[in-house]
Structures are given as C-alpha cells and as structure tokens.
Amino acid sequence: MDKQIPVDQLTLAAAKQEIDPLKRQLTQWGKEYYEQDNPTVEDYVYDRAYERLVELEQKFPELKTSDSPTQHVGGGPTSQLTKVTHDIPMLSMGDVFSIDELMDFNARQQDNDDVEVAPEYNLELKIDGLSLSLVYENGKLVQGSTRGNGVIGEDVTANVKTIKSVPRELPEPLSIEFRGECYMPKSSFVKLNQEREAAGQSIFANPRNAAAGSLRQLDPAVTAKRDLDTFMYYIPEYQKLGLKTQSEALDKMRELGFNVNPNNRVVHSRQEITDYIEEYTAKRDQLSYGIDGIVEKVNDLDTETALGNTVKVPRWEIAYKFPPEEQVTIVRDIEWTVGRTGNVTPTAVMDPVQLAGTTVSRASLHNPDYLQEKGIRLGDTVYLHKAGDIIPEISRVDLKKRPAESKPYEIPTTCPVCGSELVHLDDEVALRCVNPMCPAQIKEGLAHFASRNAMNIDGLGPKIIQQLWDKELIHDVADLYHLTRDQLLTLDKFGDKSATNLLTSIDNSRNNSVERLLFGLGIRHVGAKAARLIMEEFHSLDRLMQASAEEVSAVDGIGPTIGDSVETYFSNKQVVKLIDELRDAGVNFDYLGATTPANPESEWNGRRVVLTGKLENMTRGEAKTWLEDHGAKVTGSVSKKTDIVIAGTAAGSKLTKAQDLGITVWDEARFAQAMKEEQ
Ligand SMILES: [Zn+2]
C-alpha cells in the first residue's frame, strides 16, 4: 500500500482487483478491533486503508456492495452478554487527518442549501476508550450498554455500576440517556499489562482495548478490579432538558455529577481551531488518559439535529486524528531476562531514537508468541511507537529493508541464566524456567522480599543484592538476617553509615506484621492484597502452613488458584527449611493488625517526591502524573520534608542536596520496580 496509484488514474478492472482484498482485509481488522478487542494493526493503518476504500467506492459506485465495511459500523456484538437495542443509533464518527481536511469538512457543512450553519464549534478531546450509553429512569441508573454495531449493543449495566465516576442516582428525577466514553487511565493500563505479563497472560495492545476487555466481562467482579473511568459528552434528547448548545450540555452533565472532560472549548475561527489542536498535540503526553485526536461538534444543538446523519456518520461532528508518533530504528539484539516467577521475557535492543519526548533503545517483546507474530529478526528495520502514549513498542517490521543474509530468529529453549530447559505452563503464552534454584529467580526473589509492600527493607536494592550474591554472602532470604557490619563494609562504596542504615532496616523488618512476610515469600498468585486477606483470617504463619488448599480458598476474596498455590508452596521441603531459618532468625510470624493500609495503592499517599535528571523510559511529566495519581505530592525542590528523590541520568544540584540531607534517592529502575509493585 506504500505506492498507491491515485484513484482517478485507475481503470475499473484495476479498481475491482484492488477493492475485494481491501474489503476482506478491513472486515478482518474490524472484527479484531470491535469484537475481539485485539487489533493487529495500528489505527492509522486501518484508517488509511478505510479512506482508500471510500475513495474507490466514490469513483466506482458500481463496486460498492452492501457488505462493504463502509456500509455499517464495524463489528457486531458477539459475546455472551445480553443484547440491547439502541433506539437512537450510536454512530461512529467520520475522521480527517489534517487541519486542511477539517476546514474542507466545515466548508462543505456550511455550503449545504438546507440548513444554515453558524461557524461556532465546540472542540473536545477524543478520549481513547469505548463508547458507553447510560440510561436513567426517574433519576436512577437502569442500563449501561456498549455501542456494538451501533444499533445492537451489549448490556453491561452490572459492570458499569462498579465504575466510581458513574452516578447511580442523579440529583434530579430525570428519565433520559447520556453518552460518553469509558476509558482506562494510562498508569492503570501499564500496571494491568505488567501484572498480566508477570502472570504469563497475553497483554492488551492499548488502553482502549484494555478498557473494552475490562468492561465487556461476564463477571462484574473482574470489571471492578480494573481501574475504569468515564467522560460523558453527549445527550441525544437534549430537548428534554431545554438545552441549546453542546457546551451547555456538557455543563449540565457536570452539574448532574457526571465526569466530564474539563478541556472543551468553544471556537469560531480556523486560527482558534488550529491553536486548540496544537495545544493538545503538545500536551497529549502529559495527560493521565490517552487521547487520539480532537472532536469538533457544531455547538448549536438544533443545527446538529437539522444536519442529521449520513447512513453511517453524523454530519455535525468530525474527528481530527493525530498523526502517529513513529520512529524507525534497527534491532541489534534480543535479550532474555528471567523474572522472579521464572517468566523469561524477550526485550528488543535497538539503536537509540527520540520518541515522544524520551530516548528509546529498548522495547519489551513480552513473550515468544508476540515476537513470532511480529516476525522480528536481528538486523531488522522496525517502526517504533508508544503504546498508550507511554510504553515503547515495535509496531511492524519494514520487510523491504530486511538484510539478504537475515535468518528467522530462534526462540531459546534453555534458561539464559541457569541453562535448564524452558517450559510452557498450562495454557500460558509465557516461557518459564522452572528450576527453583535458578540464580536469576532467587535474586529477583530477594529484591521482591525487600520491596516496599513486602518486608520494606530500605537500602537493599538490586545492585546491593547483586554484590551480596556475587560475594556469596546470601543464598536465600533467611541469610539477610545473618549479615554483619564487617561483611557489608566489603561492598563497593559502602561506608559505616550505609551499613548501619541497612542493618537497622533489616532488623526492623523482623517485627513486620506477617502479611508482609507472606507476600515477600513470592508465592505464585499471592499478591499484597491476597496476603493481607489470608493473614487476617489465619493470624499466624504456622496455622497457615497446616491449612489445606480448601481452607485457604474459603477465605473471602481468595479463590482456588491461590489456595492450591499456597498449599503446594508450603508442602515443599526446601520451603519448610527456609521458614525454620526465618523463625530462628527472629522474624515475626504473627498478624499484628492492619500495619499495611487497606488499599496498597495508598503507599504513595502524602509522600513528597522530587523528580530530577533525565528518565529513559518515561518523561518527567509521565512520572509526575503517575505519582500524583497514586497520591504523592511532586514538588520542585528538595528539602528536609522530601521523602524520596527520583534521579535520572545527568541529575545535578537536587541530587547533591538530597545526598547532603540524607534523603532516600532512587534511580529509574527502582522507581519502575515500585510502579510494578503497586497493585
Ligand atoms: Zn533459570
């Protein structure tokens, strides 16, 4: 599709040859996008192909068929959710890719003979989520549904009720429908994918698919665990509320308690439209939610109604889509790293390029299936973008630039660290090293044990663990409790003060309430929250060790997977020996009450954080947004009140000041680890 012949130079025969495969391709992509929540191409690729089809059909109307993707809103509801009929169809929007095209659209709109259109527009951000309809009767929420194919959607009422920003009852007894977007914030998307990757599950391509996959669940309990949010933007029967303009409609929804995006603006000229687009193109990376463009609506609602819709899209609104931020680079290596649970993950190492505000040289390839689907080989030229505006990701390989001597990449069959054979567990996509003595896993396990939501041993980061390991001072977590000052003083750049601090942290960790220990042991499927629920019930580790899988599963909020995992773990002789060593070292085995907050996310609550230097995998703006979303206060200068300084490369005076004041300093890797631990 790179070098297309312009449509007006095509013969009918040539057009016919092009149009059939194009329709099939678009239908397939549409299915993946709308029904399976799993697109295999970038939106931009889809949009461009779609546009080409529209052009072909305009030039050769005889080739237009009723099954063409241009003749219906993509994708029908296929899930087992109950179907809902939309009395007023939920249409998708037409789109344009440049300001000139947008102005052409406006000119055509104003040219029509039937309706007089005043050039007053309401501009809104185009949220990267899925459309949602909310129906209220006498002020009570009675139905939430997805768009589906525009006429028939899916009933997601029970799921919608788990979303905090959706009012179940309005301050007025209205019987009316509201429409908007359901989305997942960027930070929640990142966290969800990290959890899924760690659990060996497939990952979501972008926040929109994560939102769709989370909302379209048969079990509302699953939806409730996903962090979904909404922005409402449309009242189809505005007349019922006596509204005159779209901007008034947004205000009315705010008044009724809905979440409405605050960034809409009423404009009247090309200049104002251009300013708005430029402003939000620049601010895009700083927002805590993904946007993929700008929506322009005629502000006068009666004019909207008079303009009406084509068979497929409204004539009164249009989406301006952002061009993709893409970069081209070359894959030099594929590194395989072993995680705490033995999950072996590939990462592409590439020539560094600037991408959406950061220097990128690495991108996770998640699992062998993903790597093979993308067909990446060493030496390949690839296109890079940021998924959800945050995570660097390879979109596709440029096959034309593939070197002649290139060979398919061979997935390793043995662990890169311990050499034992790798396996696929259950129906996981992940490849795992199942050797419990694999050094990579033990080191990761030590870092996890020391982490903030686990035993919270300050000063015991990955670099220190590496040194302790290399010097053979620790082999398992129990060894930490036998470290001496003299041993610590042999470590690189480790002075008397660092040694004292670390010994104090280790000593303090003996007195932790036991749910921290249970989480810190790193039992498969046992997260911080599950550990707390289990220990609230069992109170002592000794009692838990005697419990059967059924007894553990019987705890409220704990399922059979965790029950089985806990029983299997404690039936291992090496584990029993480790637990005895921890007991001998004086580690507390009892539940001491709520020493960890009910919601582990509040770990950041009220902490004062300073960001300095250049971060590699995110911009400072992204880091700030994430921290603030998690309740931290991000300040500009370091003082005695600062809790943590996160220092990237080339950090200057703020880092020096933090060191002078003895404030905890984290590098980006430590921060990334903390982001992962939030759950
Ligand atoms: Zn291994």
Where a domain ends, among 394, 423, 452? Answer: 423
Q: In this structure, are 154 and 219 located in the same domain?
A: yes
The encoded tokens of residue 494 equal 């480790």
Predicted confidence band of residue 599 (pLDDT cuts 50, 70, 90): very low
Residue 598 lies in a domain: no
- Residues 6 or more apart from 320 whose CB is under 8 A from it? 95, 96, 97, 99, 102, 126, 277, 293, 294, 295, 296
Residue 544 lies in a domain: yes
Q: In this structure, are 331 and 304 located in the same domain?
A: no
Residue 229 confidence (pLDDT)? 95
* Ligand 1 mean position, distance from CA 437 (Å): 8
Dihedrals phi, psi of 423, to nearest 5 degrees: -130, 160
Strand (E) or helix (H) holding 657: helix 653-661
Q: In this structure, are 163 and 266 located in the same domain?
A: yes
* Ligand 1 mean position, distance from CA 147 (Å): 46
What CATH number is given to the structural domain containing 164?
3.30.470.30
* Least confident window among 65-79, 217-231, 363-377, 494-508: 65-79
Mean pLDDT of 273-297: 92
Residue 453 lies in a domain: yes
DSSP helix/strand/coil, 582 = helix
Question: Which of 531-540, 621-630, 638-647 holds the top average pLDDT?
Answer: 531-540
Conformational region of residue 594, where left means phi above 0, alpha means psi within -120 to 50, and beta covers everything else: beta
Q: Name the residue with tokens 């903390």.
A: 674
Residue 431 lies in a domain: no
* Ligand 1 mean position, distance from CA 435 (Å): 6
* Ligand 1 mean position, distance from CA 613 (Å): 35
Residue type at position 448: H
- Residues 6 or more apart from 221 whose CB is under 8 A from it? none
With beta carbons less than 8 A apart as the criterion, state whether 549 and 567 touch. yes
Strand (E) or helix (H) holding 676: helix 668-677
pLDDT at 375 over 80: yes
With beta carbons less than 8 A apart as the criterion, state whether 147 and 253 touch. no
Residue 345 lies in a domain: yes
What CATH number is given to the structural domain containing 557?
1.10.150.20
DSSP helix/strand/coil, 421 = strand
What CATH number is given to the structural domain containing 337?
2.40.50.140
Residue 79 confidence (pLDDT)? 56
Q: What is the pLDDT of residues 6-63, one digit of tens each?
A: 888 888 888 888 888 888 888 888 777 666 667 777 766 777 788 888 888 888 888 8
* Ligand 1 mean position, distance from CA 421 (Å): 8
Q: What percentage of the chain carries pLDDT values higher than 90?
A: 47
Q: Residue 124: beta bridge partners?
A: 295
pLDDT at 433 over 60: yes
Residue 51 confidence (pLDDT)? 81
* Ligand 1 mean position, distance from CA 422 (Å): 8
Residue 1 lies in a domain: no
What are the C-alpha distances in Å from 336 to residues 367, 386, 438?
10, 21, 14
Residue type at position 524: R
Instruction: Tell me whether residue 64 is one of the annotated catalytic residues.
Output: no
As a dihedral over the C-alpha atoms of residue 391, residue 394, residue 396, residue 401, rounded to 10 degrees, the angle is 140
What is the number of residues in the chain?
679
CA angle 260/262/263 to nearest 5° reads 125
Q: Residue 294: beta bridge partners?
A: 125, 320
With beta carbons less than 8 A apart as the criterion, state whether 353 and 327 touch. yes
Mean pLDDT of 180-185: 96
* Ligand 1 mean position, distance from CA 104 (Å): 60
Residue type at position 318: I
Q: Please list the alpha-helical segments (H only) found in 299-438.
A: 301-307, 368-374
Number of H helices, E strands in the chain: 24, 22
As a dihedral over the C-alpha atoms of residue 64, residue 69, residue 70, residue 72, rounded to 10 degrees, the angle is 110
* Ligand 1 mean position, distance from CA 414 (Å): 8
Residue 324 confidence (pLDDT)? 72
What CATH number is given to the structural domain containing 32?
1.10.287.610
Q: In this structure, are 141 and 249 located in the same domain?
A: yes
Q: Which residue has the higher pLDDT, 647 or 199?
A: 647
Q: Which residue has the higher pLDDT, 473 or 602?
A: 473
Mean pLDDT of 365-377: 90
Residue 68 confidence (pLDDT)? 78
pLDDT at 77 over 60: no
Q: Residue 231: beta bridge partners?
A: 181
Average pLDDT for the chain: 87
Cα–Cα distance between 189 and 210 in angstroms, integer? 7
Residue 23 confidence (pLDDT)? 86
Q: In this structure, are 518 and 621 located in the same domain?
A: no
Strands annotated E in 595-647: 608-612, 633-635, 644-647
* Ligand 1 mean position, distance from CA 587 (Å): 29
Q: Which of 23, 126, 191, 654 is catalytic?
A: 126
Residue 594 lies in a domain: no
pTM assigned to the model: 0.57
Q: In this structure, are 521 and 400 located in the same domain?
A: no
- Total tally of structural domains belonging to the chain: 5
Residue 34 lies in a domain: yes
Q: Which residues of 580-606 are buried (b: 16+ CB within 10 A; e: fewer)?
A: ebbeeeebbbebeeeebeeebbebbee
Residue 271 confidence (pLDDT)? 96
Q: In this structure, are 273 and 384 located in the same domain?
A: no
Mean pLDDT of 242-263: 96
Helix 560-570 × helix 528-538 angle, to 10°: 70
Mean pLDDT of 638-643: 85
Where a domain ends, among 306, 321, 336? Answer: 321
Residue type at position 223: T
Report which of 609, 595, 606, 605 is spatially closest to residue 664, judged by C-alpha positions.
609
Question: Which of 108-117, 255-264, 303-312 holds the top average pLDDT?
Answer: 255-264
- Domain that residue 537 falls in: 439-584
Q: What is the pLDDT of residues 377-420, one digit of tens each?
A: 999 999 998 776 667 889 899 999 999 999 999 999 999 999 99
* Ligand 1 mean position, distance from CA 12 (Å): 60
* Ligand 1 mean position, distance from CA 337 (Å): 9
Q: What percentage of the chain carries pLDDT values higher than 70?
A: 94
* Ligand 1 mean position, distance from CA 521 (Å): 18
Q: Which residue has the higher pLDDT, 33 or 314?
A: 314
Helix, strand, coil percentages (3-state) for the chain, rounded to 5, are: 40, 20, 40
Q: In this structure, are 406 and 443 located in the same domain?
A: no
Residue 124 confidence (pLDDT)? 97
Q: Residue 229: beta bridge partners?
A: 183
Q: In this structure, are 472 and 551 located in the same domain?
A: yes
Cα–Cα distance between 548 and 504 in angstroms, integer? 36
* Ligand 1 mean position, distance from CA 461 (Å): 21
What CATH number is given to the structural domain containing 642?
3.40.50.10190
The encoded tokens of residue 79 equal 């899930």
Mean pLDDT of 505-532: 92
Residue 390 confidence (pLDDT)? 66
pLDDT at 596 over 70: no
Q: In this structure, are 285 and 398 located in the same domain?
A: no
Q: In this structure, are 389 and 259 located in the same domain?
A: no
Q: In this structure, are 151 and 241 located in the same domain?
A: yes
Residue 72 confidence (pLDDT)? 58
pLDDT at 553 over 60: yes
* Ligand 1 mean position, distance from CA 476 (Å): 16
Predicted confidence band of residue 547 (pLDDT cuts 50, 70, 90): very high
